[in-house]
Amino acid sequence: MVDPRPGQGLRVPDVESEMRSIGEMARDSGLGVSALRFYDRAGVLVPARVDPASGYRWYAPEQLDEARVLARLRRAGMPLADIRLVLAGWSGADPALVRRLLQAHLRRLEAGLTEARIEFSTLRALLDHRENPMTASPRTDTVRLSLGSTELAGAIDAVRFAVGKDPELPMLGGVLFDVDGDTLHVVATDRYRMAVARMASGSDPASASASDPASAGHGGPREQVVVPAPLVDAMRALLGGDEPAGFAVETDRVTLDAGERQVSGQRLAHDFPDYRRLVQLPAGRRVVVDVPALREALETGPVRTAEAGEPGPSARDVSVLATTDDGTVTVVGDGDADGNSVGVDRGFLLDALAAADRDRLVLEFGAAPTAPLAIRRTDDEGTFSLLMPVRLDH
């Protein structure tokens, strides 16, 4: 545009002021910054302008509508090839094609849902058969243990952060006490993270009385008891002294004695997932990290926002971890991530570092970025946590 007023010269319009930055487009469209970069590289939603010096992307006002359509199609799980065609016809060039594509995808979703219902019905029948076999072995519902108060407090602290809160999965709303011989495993998971602590179930044999020698350990078959989170918190409040703690299960009731104090409540009437299968992971890259330094890097380093449709809670910050050639773990931005980088929920990782309660820990990266990240103590391999990664390809 030329300013006709004499003496004013030419006025060049500020093109960028009329456009949306990639951050503004992400905020207004529902697509994350990394998703917009992905769809740019895929040629699906190409920015109207890219700064030749900085590479920064700018979007025209009319592209916001396309981005919002793209976000909806993505949430509906439409394949990328179909999304490309829908956007090509969205402007009005071929609305009939858009309708056919939407209807075809809806039919695929309905067919997939029908197949899923059939498979789930079969799985439920198989589960009913497993839970009610023709010859069920009797279950022992009495457990009595004498445990070190400090050790049990530490085990609870190591796993409590991973207890689930989903009302649709009540079996994850507590802590599993898995007694097997002389070993007690304390376990919690919310699907996206799992924490396991191991301790000796007869850690204070001196506390066993002559009339009840079994109180120093569990001599019966393996027993698993899921203790609801509120009762776990009440138990933890009693622990930490020098006196031993008495843990007992009588049918459906759980009791903890610590000195002259006692807390009791109902166990959860649900079976816990077989966590032993979930923690059997192939060996990965193990890196010893300085926890205070890593915590500072997580709190001050770059983050990205979890995308809609990614597994895990919504509205969460994701940190991208990379390892250097010398074994150092760094927190990097999207532009510095490579095929070996791992995205994790930043809050989850900070919780896991705090629960591990060590200044030095081992981070074990899986063979692929989709494998869980393990956080292990250097002095106790039996106490660890696993975090499910967040996809970085969108």
d(CA 302, CA 208): 53
Please report whether residue 118 resides in a domain.
no
CATH (domain of 305) = 3.10.150.10
Residues 6+ apart with CB under 8 A from 65: 90
Please report whether residue 30 resides in a domain.
yes
Share of the chain above pLDDT 70, in %: 84
- Residue 209 has what pLDDT? 37
d(CA 150, CA 243): 9
Mark whether 213 and 325 lie in a shared domain: no
Mark whether 194 and 265 lie in a shared domain: yes
Please report whether residue 373 resides in a domain.
yes
- Confidence class for position 312, pLDDT limits 50, 70, 90: low
- Residue 278 has what pLDDT? 84
Mark whether 241 and 225 lie in a shared domain: yes
Q: What is the sign of the dihedral through the CA atoms of 212, 216, 218 and 223?
A: positive
- Residue 16 has what pLDDT? 54
Mark whether 267 and 308 lie in a shared domain: no
What are the phi and psi torsion angles at 102 (to 5°)? -65, -45
CA dihedral 292, 297, 298, 299 (to 10 degrees): 90
pLDDT, mean over the chain: 82
Is the model's pLDDT at 53 over the cut of 50? yes
Q: Nearest CA to 163 among 198, 194, 188?
A: 188
Rounded average pLDDT over 3-25: 61
Write down which residue in 246, 275, 304 finishes a domain. 275
Mark whether 249 and 289 lie in a shared domain: no
Write down which residue in 210, 244, 275 finishes a domain. 275
Rounded average pLDDT over 289-303: 93
Q: Convert the pLDDT of each residue in 326-375 to its tens digit.
A: 878 989 886 777 777 888 999 999 999 999 999 999 999 987 777 899 99
- Total domain count for the chain? 3
Write down which residue in 275, 295, 313 finishes a domain. 275
Mark whether 47 and 86 lie in a shared domain: yes
Which residues form the domain of 211?
142-275
Mark whether 291 and 236 lie in a shared domain: no
Mark whether 157 and 264 lie in a shared domain: yes
- Confidence class for position 257, pLDDT limits 50, 70, 90: very high
Please report whether residue 58 resides in a domain.
yes
Please report whether residue 112 resides in a domain.
no
Among the listed ranges 54-63, 91-100, 193-202, 301-310, which one has the minimum average pLDDT value?
301-310
Please report whether residue 229 resides in a domain.
yes
Please report whether residue 320 resides in a domain.
yes
- Contact, 225 vs 176, CB < 8 A? yes
Choose between 352 and 5: higher pLDDT: 352
Of 4-18, 227-241, 278-292, 359-373, give the range with the top mean pLDDT. 227-241
- Residue 393 has what pLDDT? 62
* Per-residue DSSP letter, 206: G
Token couple for 130: 């497993």
- Confidence class for position 137, pLDDT limits 50, 70, 90: very low
- Confidence class for position 9, pLDDT limits 50, 70, 90: very low
- Confidence class for position 3, pLDDT limits 50, 70, 90: very low
> Tokens 């915590």 — which residue?
295
d(CA 272, CA 170): 10
Mark whether 241 and 324 lie in a shared domain: no
d(CA 331, CA 303): 9
What are the phi and psi torsion angles at 193 (to 5°)? -150, 150
Which pairing describes strands 174-180 and 317-323: parallel, antiparallel, or unpaired? unpaired
Please report whether residue 131 resides in a domain.
no
Mark whether 168 and 267 lie in a shared domain: yes
- Confidence class for position 156, pLDDT limits 50, 70, 90: very high
Mark whether 227 and 299 lie in a shared domain: no
Q: Convert the pLDDT of each residue in 106-130 to its tens digit.
A: 998 888 888 888 888 888 888 777 7
CATH (domain of 79) = 1.10.1660.10
Is the model's pLDDT at 208 over the cut of 70? no
Mark whether 167 and 258 lie in a shared domain: yes
Count the alpha carbons within 13 Å of 290 in the hemisphere toward its beta carbon: 6
Rounded average pLDDT over 282-311: 82
Rounded average pLDDT over 282-302: 91
